Amino acid sequence: MSAIRFARGFATAPRVVLGVSGLDTEKHTGTRFNVSARNVSREGFDLCIRTWGDTKVLAIEVGWLARGE
């Protein structure tokens, strides 16, 4: 998990949308992953990237957008 902090806080916890913009994996293994925003608060959230099975992620790029008041 990586802690992401907003430059400015929101009045209430915002809705966070994530998108994977880059992915590099080992070519002889499966590609199974999940990206989620956890513990979303007015100040930030935890970015969680999980893999399972024989997946080997060499690099992943994730973009995010927070929308709220």
Q: What is the pLDDT of residues 2-11, one digit of tens each?
A: 999 999 999 9
Give 1's contacts (C-beta < 8 A, 6+ positions apart): 38, 46, 47, 48
Whether the predicted pLDDT of 19 surpasses 90: yes
Are 1 and 38 in contact by the 8 Å Cβ rule? The answer is yes
What tokens does 36 get? Answer: 């989620």
Which domains, ranges and CATH numbers included, belong to the chain?
2-67 (2.60.40.2080)
Please, which pLDDT band fits residue 69 given cuts at 50, 70 and 90? confident
Distance CA 44, CA 5 (A): 4
* Average pLDDT of span 7-25: 96
pTM: 0.87
Please give the mean pLDDT across all residues of the chain: 95
